[in-house]
Amino acid sequence: MEAIWLYQFRLIVIGDSTVGKSCLIRRFTEGRFAQVSDPTVGVDFFSRLVEIEPGKRIKLQIWDTAGQERFRSITRAYYRNSVGGLLLFDITNRRSFQNVHEWLEETKVHVQPYQIVFVLVGHKCDLDTQRQVTRHEAEKLAAAYGMKYIETSARDAINVEKAFTDLTRDIYELVKRGEITIQEGWEGVKSGFVPNVVHSSEEVVKSERRCLC
Amino acid sequence: MSDKDDSETPVLTEAVPILEDGNCEPAKNSESVDQNAKPESKSEPIASTRKRPEAKPSSDLETSEVLPVPVSQAPGKETVSKDVPQTGWGYWGSWGKSLLSSASATVATVGQGISTVIEKAETSLGIPSPSEVSTEQYAAGEINTKDNENSSPMAGPFGVFSTISTAVQSTGKSVISGGLDALEFIGKKTMDVIAEGDPGFKRTKGLMNRNSTLSQVLREAKEKEELRTSDEVTMETEKKTHYGLLFDEFQGLSHLEALEMLSRESEIKVKSILNSLSGEELETLKLELQQLKEAFSLAEFCEEEEEEKIGDEDFTKEITELFSQLHVSSKPEKLAKARNTAHEWIRTSLTKPFTEQEEGEKLLEAENNEQVNKNSIEDIHAFAIRSLAELTACSIELFHKTAALVLHGRKQEVTAIERSRTLSQMTVVLCKELSSLSKEFTTCLTTAGVKEKADVLNPLITAVFLEASNSASYIQDAFQLLLPVLEISLIENKTESPQHELQSQRPLSEQ
């Protein structure tokens, strides 16, 4: 288990209930698909390392939020400390697509003064025959908000990896260019651990003592 | 866009999936582990509907290891008399004892090297012999636990260590280079306990008095450890056994933070409601809140009178039963699975003692077959720490979910007080489970490590006990975080106007 990473990003996954947020995350972090899953209570937590370039790893902390209205006050508290987000809708559920707008408004209010880099995700793309939202209109909406659009399926493992890594790469670019910076009191981006660079005081003390022997 | 990527399976999964598939159907693998591992597990099965454990003479089992009742913890508890030996923190005091005995064992071993030094030091400094010191300190610890403010039992041995090492340093370093490492190990652990504000021996009050929350404390400790371990390439093994890192890997820290957030919000709400009330209304409410508080402190007392009758099969049953009493829709499956995996592992390793396999005849299960020979005690140790971290993380996740559901779940016909009682019972069950689990792990260690030197084996045993004790403290602290949540739930149920203030505001639809 190699646990050394350059940065840690916190990502939040939002969208109406039953669009498949938890399944998408589980596919990404655990590599499998759960046929049945209970609705998320409040918020859940996952993490995974991704390698964006050879040798460059980012640790993703993924916050899975409940889509259900009744937990909204809980999930809201998590926007602020996220650097990126996946906004999901279900391509077979027009309503969930129409609500994308509301979700963006909601986050805008609660993320201040920070910003979240969002990607719009049309989920359940394996169910193409039941499609209620065309790719074209989804792309249009995404473009209007300056987001990328991607269609995924947790069941058939389509684009799941890509959705997360593309978002991670985009954020990484922004961090590299200094448009997103690590800030005290903000958990969105944290620097990681690089070997042989940091010495904690404890370590120093220890080695000194060893020298005496 | 819709091309399949075949590489969906994560290559770099950082956190091992919390649920390991396969070898752990709840309630299946649960015969008692081994006679010598758990004499107490043979006792009668527990009635799962039982709301309260019956009081039982507490003299049969580990009473000998148990400290007296801390009086300060029992304000007005008529059920507990001062001389019942096993109650309250006394129960956890036994951890202190375990730690101390291994600590003094180590001192004794180390003493082979340094006894002369110590003797010299004794005569020059006028301190008693190591064994005397440890017994005395232990006795002192017993007394000190009563006011668990700043006098943890740990303070005792720590004092001893520092005295010894000072003596040692001033007398001659070369003699004791080997021994010092062992002392350093325990000393460092002890330091961690104290420096990281570990509540294992100090308890919640001390912890919460400082302006940091439990999750902050744990997070800092973890981050410190990450810094430290990233510093040395050879640290992989140590990392595998670092409780804080593992606890985080199982998302324990995140759930703890989330729980703290809910707890804080509820606390603020409760305060503002109390401020808005006056007169009789306020008095009535205060009285009810007081009852709730009592339900929260009940756990440490009444429950302790129960001996460990929770047989292996019963843990899953009991915890499931308790959960159904809570009337929240969350289920403890994950926890039960983690726990059963640990027990299964222990059973496997005890039925096939490592010593017989040193010649490499037969490997154990797939999970621990790598180094059956020399490193087996390290394996056990690593697995023990991992299991403790996982169980604790799962427990805290359950508390977090419970809080979310109590606050935002559908309305239930169960009162806040009933829920509090159930939760405190659950806390006790969980802590006891950790206790018995750690005992079994140390049995494994002792069995596997018969040929090991004590100064190799003892620190591992100590570490297991220490982390189990820490785990229990975290769970108890997390439990206390539920109090404001239950308080606000009580108030809201009373006024019949649940504060789902958001429902009207939020335009988002819900399916």
DSSP line for B188-232: HHHHHHHHTT-TTTTHHHHHHHSSS-HHHHHHHHHHHHHHHHHT-
State the complex-level ipTM: 0.86
At B212 the pLDDT is: 67
In terms of DSSP bridges, do strands A43-53 and A117-123 run parallel, antiparallel, or are they unpaired? Answer: unpaired
3-state class (DSSP) for residue A11: strand
pLDDT tens track for B386-406: 999 999 999 999 999 999 999
**CB A111, CB A78: distance < 8 Å:** no
CA dist., res. B343 & res. B219, Å (int): 28
**Closest chain A residue to B19 measured between Cα atoms?**
A30
3-state class (DSSP) for residue A13: strand
Higher pLDDT, A35 or B387: B387
| Contact residues on chain B for A202, CB-CB shorter than 8 A | 224, 228
At A165 the pLDDT is: 96
Please say if the pLDDT value at position A166 is more than 80. Answer: yes
Give the number of residues written for chain B.
511
What are the DSSP calls for B56-96, one per residue? --TTSSGGGGPPPPPGGG-TT-TT--TT-SS-HHHHHHHHH
Phi, psi of A8 (to 5 degrees): -120, 125
Q: Which residues of B420-453 are buried (b: 16+ CB within 10 A; e: fewer)?
A: bbbbbbbbbbbbbbbbbbbbbbbbbbbbbbeebe
A40 contacts chain B (CB < 8 A): no
Which class for B293: exposed (0-12), middle (13-18), buried (19 or more C-beta within 10 A)?
A: middle
Domain boundaries, chain A: 5-189
Please, how many CA atoms are within 13 Å of residue B147, restricted to the half-sphere of its CB? Answer: 3
First to last CA, chain B: 28
At B156 the pLDDT is: 36
What are the DSSP calls for B456-484, one per residue? HHHHHHHHHHHHHHHHHHHHHHHHHHHHH
At B325 the pLDDT is: 84
B9 contacts chain A (CB < 8 A): yes
In terms of DSSP bridges, do strands A43-53 and A7-15 run parallel, antiparallel, or are they unpaired? Answer: unpaired
Answer whether B230 sits within 8 Å of A4, measured CB to CB: yes
Tokens of B163: 């005295």
| Contact residues on chain B for A135, CB-CB shorter than 8 A | 1
CA dist., res. B333 & res. B403, Å (int): 17
Which of A50, A59, A99 shows the shortest C-beta gap to B508? A99
Please, how many CA atoms are within 13 Å of residue B99, restricted to the half-sphere of its CB? Answer: 31
Residue B127 CB contacts under 8 Å (≥ 6 apart), including other chains: B121, B133, B163, B167
Chain B closest-CA separation from residue A137 CA (Å)? 15
CA dist., res. A100 & res. A87, Å (int): 7
Answer whether A29 sits within 8 Å of B329, measured CB to CB: no
Answer whether A213 sits within 8 Å of B174, measured CB to CB: yes
Please, how many CA atoms are within 13 Å of residue A160, restricted to the half-sphere of its CB? Answer: 27
Best A7, A41, A79 residue to mutate vs chain B (most B CBs within 10 Å): A41
Chain A closest-CA separation from residue B62 CA (Å)? 38
**CB B352, CB B364: distance < 8 Å:** yes
Please say if the pLDDT value at position A50 is more than 60. Answer: yes
CB pairs under 8 A between A and B: 160
Short-list B229, B230, B227, B208, CA closest to B217: B208
CA dist., res. B27 & res. B340, Å (int): 8
In terms of DSSP bridges, do strands A7-15 and A189-191 run parallel, antiparallel, or are they unpaired? Answer: antiparallel
**CB A120, CB A141: distance < 8 Å:** yes
Indicate the annotated binding residues of A.
17, 20-23, 37, 40, 64, 67, 123-124, 126, 154-155
Quickly tell me which residue has 């009050």 as its tokens: B205
In terms of DSSP bridges, do strands A84-90 and A148-151 run parallel, antiparallel, or are they unpaired? Answer: unpaired
Q: Which residues of B30-60 are buried (b: 16+ CB within 10 A; e: fewer)?
A: bebbbeebbebbebeebeeeeeebeeeebee
Answer whether A200 sits within 8 Å of B173, measured CB to CB: no
CA dist., res. B166 & res. A33, Å (int): 59
H/E stretch holding B346 reads helix B333-351
B258 contacts chain A (CB < 8 A): yes
Quickly tell me which residue has 């904690």 as its tokens: A200
Residue A167 CB contacts under 8 Å (≥ 6 apart), including other chains: A11, A84, A86, A117, A119, A148
Amino acid letter, residue A104: L
As a three-state string, the secondary structure of B99-163 is HHHHHHHHHHHHHHHHHHHHHHHHHHHCCCCHHHHHHHHHHHHHHHCCCCCCCCCCHHHHHHHHH
Answer CATH for A5-189 from 2.30.110.10, 1.10.260.30, 3.40.50.300, 3.40.50.2300: 3.40.50.300
CA dist., res. A81 & res. B175, Å (int): 53
pLDDT tens track for A62-120: 999 999 999 999 999 899 999 999 999 999 999 999 999 999 999 999 998 888 999 99
**CB A51, CB A57: distance < 8 Å:** yes
Residue B48 CB contacts under 8 Å (≥ 6 apart), including other chains: B314, B317, B318, B321
CA dist., res. B453 & res. B483, Å (int): 47
At B451 the pLDDT is: 86
Answer whether A198 sits within 8 Å of B227, measured CB to CB: yes
Tokens of B108: 């004794």
Answer whether B4 sits within 8 Å of A156, measured CB to CB: yes
Question: Which residue stretches of chain B have pLDDT < 50?
Answer: 1-210, 233-234, 301-306, 354-375, 497-511
The predicted model scores a pTM of 0.65
At B267 the pLDDT is: 96
First to last CA, chain A: 33
Residue A102 CB contacts under 8 Å (≥ 6 apart), including other chains: B507, B508
Quickly tell me which residue has 């062992």 as its tokens: B182
As a three-state string, the secondary structure of B276-324 is HCCHHHHHHHHHHHHHHHHHHHHCCCHHHHCCCCCCHHHHHHHHHHHHH
Kindly list the distances between the CA atom of residue B142 and the CA atoms of B66, B130, B435, B443, in Å, as whole numbers in the listed order: 9, 18, 19, 25
pLDDT tens track for A151-165: 999 999 999 999 999
Q: Answer whether the bond into residue B199 is a cis peptide, omega within 30°.
A: no
